[in-house]
Every structure is written in structure tokens, then in C-alpha cells.
Structure 1
Amino acid sequence: MKYLIDFIVLGILYIFIFYKKWRLKGKAILFINTTMYIYLSFVLYFTLMPIIVSIPFIFNHSYVPMNLVPFIDVLSGRGDFIRQVGLNVIMTVPFGFLFPLTKKENSKFLKTVIYCFLLSLIIELLQPLISDFRAADITDLITNVTGGIIGYVFYLIFRPLTNKILEFIKDK
């Protein structure tokens, strides 16, 4: 139920703001931006939700500072670090692939990496504020950016195919 409120708000934002704006720009832009919106909604689900019901309690727990020792879990063998590293990389691969497609001009590698870094940094800084059981970790930041880089490589590899698909969508 707590998650439902967040998804309702995301749905309302999409329908009344983004859909109207993107629809006017054409089917291809609507398709890519909607895909990116859905992807980012799932990122929010896995990293920060529930958000809205957590807002009143943000200051009711202590903020644990970010762990600034890269790969400490890996080096000390704590927890399920291989799974965590893998999931953090996988989570941002779609961002690295989709972000360049959302731009009219060819998005540069550095711009994609910077936006992936900022997305990850914002998530990492907000996680401990929104929830007692989430922590910010520099390893997550590093692995998320790595995932974005891998996604960008996929974007470069599949750019001719995605251009054809977008042209097909545009013509329909």
C-alpha cells in the first residue's frame, strides 16, 4: 500500500505533465521518454520507495554517513557482496543505453557518465534519509557508474538498430 501512493503520484505526473509534453514532439520521442520514465520509476521503487509516506519521518532516525571506503564489503568478505555489486551494475545499464536516446543531439559519453553519476549520488544521499535500513555506499556509486558506462557501450553498438526502430515508430 505504501508503494501504491508513490506509483499513483508517478502515474499522475506522467499523464498530466510528461505525456502531454512528449506526445506533441512525436511518437519516437514519446516512446523513448516514456521508456526512460518507466525505467526511472523502477529505479525509484528498488532504491528509495516508499517515499511519500516516509517524508514525515525523515528526521526521526539518525543519518548514517556514507561509507567512503570503496569495496570494503568485497575486501572483508561481508554479506552478499557479489550479488550487490552485480545488481548495482545491472541497475544502471538501461540508463547508459536510454539517456543518449532521449537527447536530440548525439549525447556524449562524458555527459551520460555525469548524469549517471548524479542519479546515483542523489539516490545514495537520499537513501539513509528516507529509510533506517538503507545506507549510502561509495561502492554503489562506483558500480552504478560502471553500469552506465556499459549501457553506453551497448548504445554505441546498437545505435544503427535503434535508429531504424525509432524511424519506423516515427513513420507510423
Structure 2
Amino acid sequence: MSTNPFGAVPVLPVAIPVGVLLFVLLIVLLARGKKLTWPRAVTAAVVAVYAAGIFANTIFPIYLSPVDSGEPWTPKLALVPFYDYEVDDALMNIAVFVPLGVLIPLLMRRASWAKVVLTAVSVSLGIELAQLAAQAFFAGGHIADVNDLMWNTVGGVVGYAVYLLALRIPGLSSLVRLFRWADDSSARDASDSRLAVRATS
């Protein structure tokens, strides 16, 4: 008797190559832009591991041989905010997206609240659509839920707030900037220019 009658796709053989390929791509992008440093490589590694973890935990389980119920497929959608949604689920979704709120400004040249929110919404929406597709083709085990979208976005906002707070802490701000992909030299030059103008006026 088969130990895997529903054809469940194993997670690690899929998620690990996804993470590795993403890491290689990010390193290539850094190298081409002549921005490759050890701290930035660490940021790339964190992004790759985070993305692979999100992929593994939000899309899987998926099945290649789902049971045919004989009824036409209808997507399982939860479109009513706050209905039949536990506090624990909300807190978990916030926690999962806090790292994203920290990583976004590390990768962007000029991050802002609007950009972070838009990115968090886009990533979360992509996850929910992927879950919907997994239901359609692989009998995926997750339900696309508008509540997940909302609380994921909150998590991204919280993460960005943590990032901004870290920039206000002496010593820690310098450390954080080492891991940023954008070069701060242009911003420093602009600041020095403004100071010079004020000094001569």
C-alpha cells in the first residue's frame, strides 16, 4: 500500500532550490551593480531564506493526486473581514510579515511608508492568489483569506516601524546601514552640500 496515496509534494526538495536560486540571483545583481559586500550578501541570504520559508509555509501542502469529490470545484475564499478569525491567527500573520517590513527598506533606494505598505500588500496578495491556484490545481491546504491580507500588511508596517526605530539608535543605525543595498553616499553628499550653502549664506 502506498504511503503517499494523495501524491503529496514534499516541501524541502522544492523550497530549498527556490531559496538557493533566489540567493544566487540576488548575489549576481549585487555583483553586477558593484555593490557586493559581506553585509549585503548576508541581507541576500536572509531574503532568500525568508522567501523560501514563506513559500513552504503558505503554499504547501499541495497534492498531485487529490481525491475527486465528483462535484465542480469552487474556490474556498474568506472575504468577510474579522469573521471566524482567531486572534492567534492575526498575531501569527503579523509576526510573519514583520521581517518583510525590515527587509523592504534594506533593499530599496528610498523607502517610505507608502512603498512599504504597497509592497506588503502586493506580496500578501500574491500569496493569497497562489493559495487559490493551489486549491484549483493541487487541492492545496490553505484558504485565501482577506484577513490574512490585512494582518500581513499590518506586520509589514510594524516591521518598517522597527527599522525606523533602529535608525534612531546611535551605533545601531550605522550597523543597519551596512546591510542596506542602496549607497548612502549620495544622500550624505546632498546633506553636506546643504550645510555648505547655509554656512556661506
Counterparts of residues 19-168 of structure 1 (less than 5 Å): 19-23=27-31, 24-27=34-37, 28-49=39-60, 62-74=73-85, 81-103=86-108, 105-131=109-135, 132=139, 133-160=141-168, 161-167=172-178
- Greater RCO structure (CA 8 Å; 6+ sep): 1
Misfit runs of 4+, over 6 Å: none
Q: Which moved more, 1:122-131 or 1:106-115?
A: 122-131
Larger radius of gyration: 2
**C-alpha separation in 2, matches of 1:46 and 1:99:** 20
Please say if residues 93 and 148 of structure 1, whose CA atoms lie closer than 8 Å, have aligned partners that are also in contact: yes
Q: Partner amino acid for 1:40? A: A
Q: Distance in 1 between matches of 2:94 and 2:112?
A: 20
Relative to total residues, which structure has the larger helix share, 1 or 2? 1
Q: Gaps spanning 5+ residues in structure 1: where?
A: 75-80
Instruction: Please report the RMSD computed on the Cα atoms of aligned residues, expressed in angstroms.
Output: 2.8
Distance 1:168 1:142 in 2: 28
Deviation of residue 165 (structure 1)?
A: 4.4
Aligned residues: 159
TM-score normalised per structure 2: 0.68
Describe the superposition over 1:43-102 as per-residue Cα deviations: whole angstroms up to 9, x where unpaired. Answer: 111101357xx5x679x782415321101014xxxxxx1211111111101101111111
